[in-house]
Structure 1
Amino acid sequence: MGIFKENPFGHILFLKKWLIRVLGLMTHSRYKRFNSLDVEGSEIIRSLPDKNVLFVSNHQTYFADVVAMFHVFNASLKGRDNNIKNVGYIWQPKLNMYYVAAAETMKKSLLTKIFAYAGSVSVERTWRSEGKDVKRQVKMSDISNIGKALNDGWVITFPQGTTTPWKPLRKGTAHIIKKYRPVVVPVVIDGFRRSFDKKGLRIKKKGILQSMVIKEPLDIDYENESFDSIIEKLEYAIEQHPSFLKVISKEDLMAYEEENELRRFRNRHKV
């Protein structure tokens, strides 16, 4: 107990607290000084229960998205209204907050291992491994670990499993929702892809307006609603349903395609 108290994953909370403090101080200017983060719906955060909350979001970078959520959620819990002014809110962070991430990503370097200790629930991707398409069964231990995190607190997940927009949502998210019946809170982000590199570690461009919209919890019939119905509901909530392609501007579509083509070119020419 005390200084050596652990969370359900065996992580020492005192150490996790200091990691979040240091990472929070190091990253605050990325959303407050170099770029500007516009937040909506922070009051919803303060109305949520302490446990069994699943945040479902679109995805734009590996790490910058979830780091921004750690900032926004902790700031809101300390009474900030739609802003992350005065980074003092990170001194006593919410320690039972987790995010779902690919296991192979979180093992790549010392930095990613530090990020993992700060709160990741690492899962093995069933559709991609080491840059190649694969097809394998979902590991039940991964599902149970997400359930363990939900039983302890809040979990952030990116159900598309990729930073490429408008990709289909993985049905595993619907299975988790049906099984553990969490409060499901949609989050819509934008601007992170333009301001950071794909990993979300390097600032690519300054002066970008980033945005995060936290929406009201979804009304889900856990008992009777089908998996497909839940997935469609999530797609609309995080604004990734195919119908949104009909209203997005041609310029934005071209920008996404150019970025994806450049990424494919770089991957083909890696030594």
Structure 2
Amino acid sequence: MGLFKKNPFGHILFIKKWLIRILGAATHRRFRGFNELQIDGSEIIRSLPDRNVLFISNHQTYFADVVAMFHVFNASLSNREDSIKGIGYLWNPKLNIYYVAAKETMKAGLLPKILAYVGSVSIERTWRAEGKDVNRQVKMSDISNIGKALNDGWVVTFPQGTTTPFKPIRKGTAHIIKKYNPIVVPIVIDGFRRSFDKKGLRIKKKNILQSMEIKEPLQIDYKNESVAEIVEKIEYAIEQHPSFLKVIPQEEIEAQEALNKQRAWRPEKTS
């Protein structure tokens, strides 16, 4: 790799590689140390092609979700089986991983700007800006940039566009799927909202069992399925369809709580 080789967005890959190494080393204990990340599906990551893959996921924090995915993707590609043990996988990271993020979020401070260099495809939200509801047209340049990232590699997107659970799926994700025909890989995460603050920068609570389930790619008829049908598939795949809000019987809740105690990675320390 040439010292000043750039990706399609003009970012120097040598700099990007070192940023991933440094940030990865600095954040590793957030997912294997202070807390424990349980992973399922690393074999799916290894089976994917090098480009035109779209990961869709529910969203719990601004930054911790995607940072964890960078760890899991690179660890999986380094033949770790559902584990991020050790940080040797950071030495030669996959450099064509991108994630879709709100432009205003990625400009809010030095650290977000650094994280943007690592792989953000920054877009202008059409429904919210500066904490207020808005209604504006989609910028075609934003769609083109997501297509450019897919053409170069893997893209992570959070189709709800918010960290609030069970919000509607934005139709833009379905339009992107129909336009660029990527392999669509669902991811379901949990525990991040309990572990970190809303931005995902500050550790809120330790000894939390986090989870990341990587599912098999969706079967999509790109030509014949409607946007509405793809949106519904996404809702079910990332477990954000309204049906997941069903009332859970008390005995099922108690059984789940007992299971959570068994799965607890480390008991809370008492003073």
| TM-score of the aligned structures, taking structure 2 as reference length | 0.91
Partner AA of 1:13 in structure 2: L
Which residue number corresponds to residue 258 of structure 1? none
Instruction: Work out whether 1:165 is the aligned partner of 2:169.
Output: no
Distance 1:239 1:216, change over 3 A: same
Which residue number corresponds to residue 156 of structure 1? 156
Displacement of 1:53 after TM fit? Answer: 0.1
Displacement of 1:101 after TM fit? Answer: 0.2
Q: Distance in 2 between matches of 1:229 and 1:136?
A: 24
Which residue number corresponds to residue 112 of structure 1? 112
Which residue number corresponds to residue 207 of structure 2? 207
Q: Distance in 2 between matches of 1:29 and 1:82?
A: 16
Name the SS for the 2:6 alignment partner: coil
Distance 1:230 1:90, change over 3 A: same
Partner AA of 1:102 in structure 2: A
Q: Distance in 1 between matches of 2:249 and 2:151?
A: 41
Q: Distance in 1 between matches of 2:22 and 2:213?
A: 26
Q: Distance in 1 between matches of 2:218 and 2:37?
A: 24
Which residue number corresponds to residue 80 of structure 2? 80
C-alpha deviations, 1:90-133, integer Å up to 9, x for none?
11000000000000000011110000000000000000000000
Which residue number corresponds to residue 123 of structure 1? 123
Instruction: Work out whether 1:15 is the aligned partner of 2:15.
Output: yes
Q: Distance in 2 between matches of 1:249 and 1:23?
A: 43
Q: Distance in 1 between matches of 2:43 and 2:90?
A: 18
Give the number of equivalent residue pairs. Answer: 251
C-alpha deviations, 1:141-191, integer Å up to 9, x for none?
000000000000000000000000000000000000000000000000000
Which residue number corresponds to residue 177 of structure 1? 177
Gaps of 5+ in 2: 254-271
Name the SS for the 2:3 alignment partner: helix
C-alpha deviations, 1:63-108, integer Å up to 9, x for none?
0000000000000000000000011101100000000000000001
Displacement of 1:248 after TM fit? Answer: 5.4
Partner AA of 2:130 in structure 1: E
Aligned-CA RMSD value: 1.2
Which residue number corresponds to residue 139 of structure 1? 139
C-alpha deviations, 1:3-54, integer Å up to 9, x for none?
0000000000000000000000000000000000000000000000000000
Gaps of 5+ in 1: 253-271
Partner AA of 1:8 in structure 2: P
| TM-score of the aligned structures, taking structure 1 as reference length | 0.91
Q: Distance in 2 between matches of 1:249 and 1:126?
A: 39
Q: Distance in 1 between matches of 2:188 and 2:74?
A: 18
